């Protein structure tokens, strides 16, 4: 019974820990524009609180007797229930993110206010309960590390339950109430474990020498700093990789819990497997295959090839799992006796926090791309233990050491030569060119796999050499912010200039001065955007316009005398790029007097006068999708309040992965609005080369008559059709949304 009670208690505490992470992240997403960086920042917070919990547990075990520990820990877990207004968890009133600066610090403070105390109480439970069990006198008490596997199993269940069960079925408010009740059950289970431990046979006075429940540090195995530093490094790599993989796979898709939890679930699964009493996968088998996995993980960065999301998911998740199995396997193999248990978990937590800080707070400042991912893969190659045979003689040792540097250098030089040689021939980028440049290099680097340093240096040489490879045009600018990675590039022929957010084009301008005022991309005059602006100008020739999402500013060129334009843009970096005439001139040429309001549109639109806009365009994108909080019943009510009589709402819903029209159709039907959609995806190759992109636009208005100029117009190659909601589908609100229900495809190339 004892082992069952402790196992269930740790399982429950871990389940609650990892249920609350995606739930809280989803609560605060609307305040920050739905950016994937919210999740990474949340993970840094959770890792930091986890470290604080382990530090508290280590101190309590070291300096307090067991009964004092029990009393203190019961007070800690009870405190969230005693603070009025803390539970159920909710967004506190009056919190608004900064508009002009990086909101990471603000996000951390908000999380501390919302969930810091209960998360701290839960995070300390793993170490404390394992030590209570170790002092219980049970026959398995000498090696309680198997309880860590139970804890991670609970973490995995909590993670997967959220996107698969809680999110699709329950509102956020209901989720929070259920979590709070489960926390009360956790408090009760903690009290039961405390009662079982209080009078256990080994629970004697701290000063008793015969059966002291907590071995003194000097009685435990002596630890040296190289061992501690190795534990930190082994924990750092999987933590950093988990966040790097999350950033990579969510660069162009919405920040939804499923994509958050998949990397974290594999991260936890590796802990479960390696700390099991009988690990099901051979550690050495995974170690031997890690070089191949690392090369696979480096391939997208090196080749700059646009893979489908399905391929990226498979590759990155497999690489993460392999690296985590190796690093966590090394941790499990080097775990100390039970006397050093809390310190062991403490150093693991330090490594995890450092990995989170590196990815979420340091990398966005010092790197202009997701460079942290390949760098940590190279570090993982350095940490891997190999069965390197010592050289037979000093001369052989010197020759081997010299080759460890010279062979990677030769690899990088050959790559640069091939890249520059192909560039001079004028061969267009394609699979053949990519294979010529990188295929042989990866095979060559793989041959270094048995030499740890040589393999790591080979990876570094390939990474540096790949910087000379520019398959998609000339790069002018690469910048990174909390909200994403931006690149400004010229096409190979120099005719067009592009603004990329991740792998998605968010603006195109013709570099010919005579054509530079012509909106291109998704906003061409021959596309649905042109039709929408023409209809709005005909209905309200002197109206005010609001556009949510700036991009390169192409829609400013539809502005006519007597009209005013206000942009709402959440990312100050986008404003800098669009206003910089070295890159784009839409704003300076077409609408130099336009107003740009920085901040989330849901918050900033509240400040605009009611009924002030004849046209509101929703073109804000997180990767390749409109942020979810801009597509809810409450958001639509706000737009209608700001829309002038006879005005039009226009949504740009072009998307590789999600079918958004039915969801918006449900919202329109719920609000009794007329709703039309235009699908202009039959774009020819010649039009694409000239700068036109396929697009899908949806419009709403209070009356069908307000959209008659669109529905009756037959001068375009596309048509406008009525949109109806899906029968029985739930309306999206600020309290409920489910992107999995509108999945279209994850197999298209980005």
For the residues of 642-655, what is the DSSP string, one character each? Answer: HEEEEEEEEEE---
- Report whether 111 contacts 42 (CB < 8 A): yes
Bond from prior residue into 88 cis (ω within 30 degrees of 0):
yes
Please write the tens of the pLDDT for every residue from 564-601: 999 999 889 999 999 999 999 999 999 999 999 998 88
What's the confidence (pLDDT) of residue 503? Answer: 72
Mean pLDDT value of segment 709-735: 86
Residues near 369 by beta carbon (within 8 Å), at least 6 away in sequence: 478, 480, 485
Round to whole Å and give the CA distance between 739 and 255. 10
| pLDDT value for 358 | 92
Residue 312's pLDDT is what?
Answer: 84
3-state secondary structure of 533: helix
Q: Is the pLDDT assigned to residue 207 strictly greater than 50?
A: no
Residue 623 has pLDDT above 70, yes or no: no
Q: What is the pLDDT of residues 484-542, one digit of tens each?
A: 889 899 987 889 999 988 778 889 999 999 999 999 999 999 999 999 999 998 888 88
Return the closest-CA partner of residue 323 out of 255, 258, 259, 274.
Answer: 274
Higher model confidence: residue 408 or residue 31?
A: 408
Q: What is the chain's length?
A: 750
CA distances from 372 to 15, 71, 241, 719 (A): 30, 43, 8, 46
The DSSP code for 495 is S
Residue 143 in 3-state DSSP?
Answer: coil
Cα–Cα distance, 485 to 503 (Å, whole number): 9
Where residue 36 falls among pLDDT bands split at 50, 70, 90? low
Give residues with Cβ within 8 angstroms of 70, minimum separation 6: 132, 194, 197, 198
pLDDT above 70: residue 145: no
Check residues 85 and 694 and name the one with the higher pLDDT: 694
Residue 517: DSSP 8-state: T
Q: Is residue 46 predicted with pLDDT exceeding 80? A: yes
pLDDT band (50, 70, 90) for residue 219: very low
pLDDT value at residue 447: 93
Q: Is 181 exposed, middle or buried (0-12, 13-18, 19+ CB in 10 A)?
A: exposed
3-state secondary structure of 512: coil
Cα dihedral sign, 739-368-462-425? positive
Instruction: Give the torsion sign (CA, 724, 730, 734, 740).
Output: negative
Confidence band (pLDDT; 50, 70, 90) for 34?
low
Helix or strand (DSSP H, E) at 446: helix 440-446
Domain locations in the chain as residue ranges: 2-205+224-362+369-383, 397-466, 512-742
The encoded tokens of residue 189 equal 């289970």
- Establish how many alpha carbons lie within 13 A of residue 189's alpha carbon, considering only the half-sphere containing its beta carbon: 22
Q: Report the chain's mean pLDDT, rounded to a whole number.
A: 85
pLDDT bin (cut points 50, 70, 90) of residue 390 is confident
Q: Which two tokens stand for residue 357?
A: 């800080």
Answer CATH for 512-742 from 2.60.15.10, 3.30.930.10, 3.40.50.150, 3.40.50.2000: 3.40.50.150
- Structure token pair of residue 511: 């570099």
Instruction: Record the pTM.
Output: 0.79
Q: What are the strands of the beta sheet with 695-701, ordered from one edge?
A: 595-598, 564-569, 544-548, 613-618, 643-652, 695-701, 674-680, 720-722
Determine the longest span between alpha carbons in the chain, in angstroms. Answer: 94
For 296-361, what is the HEC assignment? HHHHHHHHCCCCEHHHHHHHHHHHHHHHHHHHHHHHHHCCCCHHHHHHHHHHHHHHHHHHHHHHHH
Least confident of 67-71, 217-221, 692-696: 217-221
CA distances from 636 to 168, 607, 667, 699, 701 (A): 21, 16, 8, 12, 11
List, for residues 640-667, the tens digit of each pLDDT value: 999 999 999 999 998 877 788 999 999 9
| 433 confidence band (pLDDT: 50, 70, 90) | low
2-205+224-362+369-383 against 512-742: fold identical: no
Confidence of residue 637 (pLDDT cuts 50, 70, 90): very high
Question: Looking at the DSSP assignment, which residues form a beta bridge with residue 736?
Answer: 733
Q: CA dihedral in degrees (374, 375, 378, 384; nearest 10)?
A: -110
Which H, E and C letters describe 194-214, residue by residue?
A: HHHHHCCCCCCCCCCCCCCCC
Which residues are 697's β-sheet partners? 652, 678
Q: Is the dihedral of CA 566, 570, 574, 575 positive or negative?
A: positive
CATH tag for 2-205+224-362+369-383 (out of 1.20.1250.20, 1.10.3720.10, 3.40.50.2300, 1.10.3290.10): 1.20.1250.20
Task: Work out the pLDDT band at 214, boundaries 50, 70, 90.
Answer: very low
Q: Is the pLDDT assigned to residue 668 strictly greater than 90?
A: yes
């Amino acid at each position: 019974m004892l082992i069952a009670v402790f196992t269930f208690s740790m399982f429950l505490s871990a389940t609650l820990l990892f249920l609350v992470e995606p739930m809280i992240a989803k609560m605060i997403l609307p305040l920050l524009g739905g950016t994937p960086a919210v999740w990474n920042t949340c993970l840094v917070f959770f890792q930091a609180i986890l470290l604080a919990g382990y530090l508290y547990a280590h101190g309590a075990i070291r300096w307090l007797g067991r009964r004092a520990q029990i009393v203190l820990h019961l007070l800690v877990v009870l405190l969230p229930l005693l603070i009025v207004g803390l539970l159920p968890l909710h967004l506190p009133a009056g919190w608004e993110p900064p508009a002009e600066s990086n909101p990471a610090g603000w996000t951390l403070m908000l999380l501390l206010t919302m969930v810091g105390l209960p998360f701290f109480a839960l995070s300390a439970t793993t170490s404390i309960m394992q030590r209570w069990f170790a002092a219980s006198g049970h026959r398995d008490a000498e090696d309680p590390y198997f309880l860590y596997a139970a804890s991670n199993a609970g973490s995995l269940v909590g993670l997967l339950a959220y996107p698969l069960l809680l999110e699709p079925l329950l509102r956020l408010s209901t989720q929070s109430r259920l979590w709070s009740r489960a926390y009360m059950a956790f408090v009760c289970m903690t009290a039961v474990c405390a009662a079982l431990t209080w009078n256990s046979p080994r629970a004697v006075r701290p000063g008793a020498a015969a059966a002291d429940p907590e071995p003194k540090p000097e009685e435990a195995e002596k630890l040296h700093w190289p061992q501690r530093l190795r534990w930190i490094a082994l924990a750092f790599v999987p933590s950093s990789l988990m966040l790097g993989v999350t950033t990579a796979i969510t660069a162009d898709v919405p920040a939804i819990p499923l994509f958050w939890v998949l990397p974290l679930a594999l991260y936890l699964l590796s802990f479960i497997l390696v700390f099991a009493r009988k690990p099901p996968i051979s550690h050495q088998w995974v170690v031997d295959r890690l070089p191949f996995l690392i090369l696979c993980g480096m391939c997208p960065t090196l080749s700059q090839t646009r893979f489908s999301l399905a391929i990226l998911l498979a590759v990155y998740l497999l690489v993460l799992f392999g690296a985590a199995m190796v690093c966590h396997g090394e941790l499990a193999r080097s775990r100390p006796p039970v006397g050093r248990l809390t310190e062991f978990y403490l150093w693991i937590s330090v490594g995890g926090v450092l990995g989170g800080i590196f990815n979420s707070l340091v990398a966005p400042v010092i790197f202009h791309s997701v460079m942290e991912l390949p760098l940590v893969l190279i570090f993982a190659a350095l940490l891997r233990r190999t069965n390197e045979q010592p050289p037979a003689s000093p001369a052989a040792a010197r020759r081997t050491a010299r080759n460890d540097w010279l062979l990677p250098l030769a690899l990088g030089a050959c790559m640069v030569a091939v890249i520059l040689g192909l560039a001079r021939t004028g061969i267009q980028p394609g699979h053949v060119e990519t294979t010529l440049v990188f295929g042989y290099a990866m095979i060559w680097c793989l041959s270094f796999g048995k030499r740890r340093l040589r393999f790591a240096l080979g990876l570094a040489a390939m990474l540096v050499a790949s910087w000379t490879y520019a398959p998609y045009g000339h790069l002018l600018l690469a910048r990174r912010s909390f909200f994403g990675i931006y690149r400004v590039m010229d096409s190979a022929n120099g005719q067009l200039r592009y603004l990329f957010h991740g792998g998605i084009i968010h603006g195109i301008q013709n570099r010919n001065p005579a054509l530079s005022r012509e909106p291109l991309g998704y906003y061409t005059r021959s596309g649905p955007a042109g039709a929408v602006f023409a209809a709005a100008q005909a209905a309200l020739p002197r109206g005010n316009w609001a556009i949510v999402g700036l991009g390169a500013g192409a829609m400013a060129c539809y502005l006519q005398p007597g009209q005013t334009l206000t942009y709402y843009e959440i990312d100050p970096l986008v404003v800098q790029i669009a206003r910089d005439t070295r890159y784009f001139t839409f704003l300076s040429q077409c609408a130099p007097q336009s107003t740009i309001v920085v901040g989330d549109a849901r918050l900033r639109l509240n400040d605009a006068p009611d009924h002030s806009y004849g046209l509101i365009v929703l073109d804000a994108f997180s990767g390749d999708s409109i942020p979810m909080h801009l597509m809810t019943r409450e958001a639509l009510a706000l737009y209608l309040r700001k829309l002038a009589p006879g005005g039009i709402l226009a949504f740009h819903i072009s998307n590789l992965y999600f079918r958004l029209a039915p969801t918006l159709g449900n919202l329109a039907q719920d609000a009794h609005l007329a709703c039309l959609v235009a699908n202009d995806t039959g774009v020819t190759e010649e039009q694409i080369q000239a700068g036109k992109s396929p697009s899908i636009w949806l419009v709403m208005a209070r009356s069908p008559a307000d959209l008659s100029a669109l529905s009756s117009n037959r001068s375009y190659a596309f048509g406008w059709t009525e949109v109806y909601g899906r029968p029985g589908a739930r309306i999206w609100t600020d309290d409920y949304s489910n992107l999995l229900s509108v999945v279209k495809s994850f197999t298209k190339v980005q």
